Structure 1
Amino acid sequence: MRQLTYVGGNTIEWWDVPAPMLQDDRDALVQPLAVTRCDLDLTIVCGKSGLPGPFALGHETAGRVTDVGSAVKNFAPGDLVIVPFQISCGECARCLRGHTNACTSVPFRSSYGLKPVCGVEYGGSLSDLIRVPFADHMLVRQPAGHALSQTAALADGATDAFSAVAYWLRHWPGAEVLVIGGAGQSIGMFAIQAALSRGAARVVYVDDDARRLAKAKSLGADVHEAPKGLAMEPVGLFPIVVDAAATDASILLAFRSAEPNGICQRMYGDFKETTSVPLRHMYGVGITLRIGRVNVRAEMPGCLAHVEAGHFHPEHVITRKVRFEDAHEAIGDPTIRVAFVRDGID
């Protein structure tokens, strides 16, 4: 079968590889029909991640079940599903606590399209087929009346932003939210949508990129253009600040923009081993910093409910839609978000 492969540097190629097979009676096979590009995918294919190739690419997937093991009860061939990017069993102690990002039944950080972070090649969604272990737990049924390109992002980025922002707005209903945009291009847009969906009184978006500012405005945010590199004074103080830029400058701006006893939600870690954090300022002002990988399978149902209700629109973040077969040419497009869809699929 075909598999889009990150070879190394900025080289991406279609490889012919053996098709996955059912390995356990709890497995399913899924044909990806719509795949969205995660912000990390762009960093990888531009050679900026430091992750060594080769490995399969793509991890935000909606598709069709083609085969199931004998123990799979909830899904059958032909069903349309969303596939969370993290592998989890749903039965271990961590999964039962909702920590599906750290399932003990598989190697730590097991994920599609990210072999270097877990050491196991689970394949990628930019392939003809993927194997889904623990299918009854892992798979999420595609809601009727919604496009696959709309829901594919829930496999990672859309659920990541939604769950992070919703967590704080549950504690602080109606709060104003500041989103600092940057390299995490689409995650900042999802954060805007999530905040408005969860009832934020106002969302302010700061960035130094005109394209992202325009998209943020179209999604309902008040926008402020920043100087290059985000070297600026805060535009105000906010109870909740979302740092989606993931730079030293953005985290400093985030902390200086948080009101006393406010929140800073950092959406990414760092590609460096260590990051400077102004603990003295944080302590003196009373800032809470939250950072961590999404528990995507545990959090997806809540996010999906807002999509089904028409409150959350991942499809509005897509800035380019291309044929699945052209993924090798389009995956490095610097546009905010790309969707790869098979012919005849929305």
Structure 2
Amino acid sequence: MSAAVYYGPRDIRVENVVKPTLEESTDAVVRVTHTAVCGSDLWFYRGKTDRDIPSRVGHEPMGIVEEVGDDVQSVDVGDRVFAPFKISCGMCEFCRRGLHTSCVNGDGWGDDNGGAQGEVIRCRHADGTLVRVPDAYANDDSALRSILPLTDVMGTGHHAAVSAGVSAGSTCVVVGDGAVGLCGVLAARRLGAARIVAVGHHPDRLSLASEFGATDTVSARGQEAIETVQEMTGGGAEHVLECVGATSAMETAVEVCRPGGTVGYVGVPHGLDDGLDLFSFFGDNITLQGGVAPVRAYADELLADVLQGTLDPAPVFTKTVDLDSISEGYQAMDERDAIKVLVEI
């Protein structure tokens, strides 16, 4: 089978690799039809984080079940499914608490499992991981495009909003205009926020944020952005979504958070080698809550909203490529020519 393989900074190749097969009675083998390039993939693509060379990549799969182990009960051969970016058993202490990303039996989509930017994956713990798409939507291209972000960015944006405590009538600030930040805007609107301020640097992305429900947008940087948001909100918001992970984004988030408020952080930490200064949090009694998003915990409720037409994150995909052209997708995201790249296989 073919799969995307990382060979070093800005070097993604499509190669023939060994096709994964069933190994355990709880496994499923899925033929991937759709996947994506994630903003977090850019860290290793740019050489900012370590990764084995060579290694298969990708973590946002959707496809058709080809085989199931004898003990798999929730899906069957021929079902359309999607999977979160982390494998989880669904039964351990942490899965039962909704912290599927802390599953004691958890796994990722690396080499042994095929790499999600490839033609086939092996899903360990299929019952705890895979989410079945109803048959009525299994071949609906428009619906599938809207469902695919539930594998990561939509669930992650939702986790930021939930962690920040967004509720009906609240005012919130979303820091970051990437796919996760834009999905954070969608999530805040879904949770009933009355005012949503989106902070970013790209006019086209902030325009999409407005379409997604942002009532205000701020394109300034640094201290100017902080002062603009504070003026807009009368001293800051009680609910702030940090959707970048960089030091500057976290500093902005805490400065625009009202005393006693909460910062919900989901950006993959980057550039925090010198440590995070907690004094601003301490001095204003600001809560910091969040982390890696347990996407599986949110998948069913978000899927229901997508299928009934009240939630549509599909516009975050601004470029589509096939597997053979996936390196072009990485390049487009690296150069900020695409918000998020959909890969059709």
Residue aligning to 2:159? 163
Residue aligning to 2:130? 139
Q: Where do residues 18-29 of structure 1 align in structure 2 (5 Å cutoff)?
A: 18-29=18-29
Does 2:197 correspond to 1:201?
no
Q: Where do residues 222-241 of structure 1 align in structure 2 (5 Å cutoff)?
A: 222-227=216-221, 232-236=226-230, 237-241=236-240
Residue aligning to 1:260? 259
State the alpha-carbon separation in 2 of the partners of residues 78 and 329 from structure 1: 31
State the alpha-carbon separation in 2 of the partners of residues 52 and 71 from structure 1: 33
State the alpha-carbon separation in 1 of the partners of residues 179 and 209 from structure 2: 10
Q: Is the 8 A contact 1:29 1:68 kept in 2?
A: yes
Q: 1:99 to 1:127 in 2, by over 3 A?
A: same
Q: Is the 8 A contact 2:259 2:285 kept in 1?
A: yes
Q: Where do residues 240-319 of structure 1 align in structure 2 (5 Å cutoff)?
A: 240-272=239-271, 274-319=273-318
Q: Is the 8 A contact 1:162 1:303 kept in 2?
A: no
Residue aligning to 1:217? 210
Does 2:104 correspond to 1:125?
no
State the alpha-carbon separation in 2 of the partners of residues 32 and 53 from structure 1: 23
SS of the residue 2:208 aligns to: helix
SS of the residue 2:264 aligns to: strand
Q: 1:252 to 1:11 in 2, by over 3 A?
A: same
Residue aligning to 1:175? 170
User: Deviation of residue 121 (structure 1)?
Assistant: 4.1
State the alpha-carbon separation in 2 of the partners of residues 4 and 293 from structure 1: 24
User: Deviation of residue 265 (structure 1)?
Assistant: 1.4
Residue aligning to 2:233? none
Aligned AA (1:2): S
Q: 1:317 to 1:47 in 2, by over 3 A?
A: same
State the alpha-carbon separation in 1 of the partners of residues 90 and 229 from structure 2: 43
Residue aligning to 1:322? 321
Residue aligning to 2:9? 9
The structure 1 segments of at least 4 consecutive aligned residues displaced by more than 6 Å after TM superposition are: 228-231
Gaps of 5+ in 2: 231-235
Residue aligning to 1:80? 80
Moved more, 21-30 or 324-333: 324-333
User: Deviation of residue 274 (structure 1)?
Assistant: 3.4
Listed one character per residue, the Cα deviations across residues 219-252 of structure 1 (whole Å, up to 9, x for unaligned) are 2312111137976525121111112232222212
Cα-Cα RMSD: 2.2
Q: Is the 8 A contact 1:30 1:63 kept in 2?
A: yes
SS of the residue 2:183 aligns to: helix
Aligned AA (2:144): L
Aligned AA (1:226): A
**Percentage of identical aligned residues:** 30
Moved more, 161-170 or 151-160: 161-170
Q: 1:298 to 1:232 in 2, by over 3 A?
A: closer
Aligned AA (1:291): G
Residue aligning to 1:191? 184
User: Deviation of residue 272 (structure 1)?
Assistant: 4.3
Aligned AA (1:77): V
Residue aligning to 1:152? 148
State the alpha-carbon separation in 1 of the partners of residues 254 and 130 from structure 2: 38
Residue 339 of structure 2: which of 319, 336, 339 is its match? 336
Q: Is the 8 A contact 1:161 1:187 kept in 2?
A: yes
Aligned AA (1:253): T
Listed one character per residue, the Cα deviations across residues 190-241 of structure 1 (whole Å, up to 9, x for unaligned) are 0011111111101111112223222222323121111379765251211111
State the alpha-carbon separation in 2 of the partners of residues 272 and 278 from structure 1: 13
State the alpha-carbon separation in 2 of the partners of residues 98 and 281 from structure 1: 30
Residue aligning to 1:99? 99
Does 2:128 correspond to 1:111?
no
State the alpha-carbon separation in 1 of the partners of residues 224 and 72 from structure 2: 50
Q: 1:43 to 1:212 in 2, by over 3 A?
A: farther
TM-score w.r.t. length of structure 1: 0.88
User: Deviation of residue 86 (structure 1)?
Assistant: 0.7
State the alpha-carbon separation in 1 of the partners of residues 225 and 165 from structure 2: 28
Gaps of 5+ in 1: none
Moved more, 7-16 or 159-168: 159-168
TM-score w.r.t. length of structure 2: 0.88
Number of matched pairs: 330
Q: Is the 8 A contact 1:63 1:148 kept in 2?
A: no
Q: Where do residues 39-50 of structure 1 align in structure 2 (5 Å cutoff)?
A: 39-50=39-50
User: Deviation of residue 276 (structure 1)?
Assistant: 4.0
State the alpha-carbon separation in 2 of the partners of residues 69 and 318 from structure 1: 34
Q: Is the 8 A contact 1:169 1:195 kept in 2?
A: no
SS of the residue 2:273 aligns to: coil
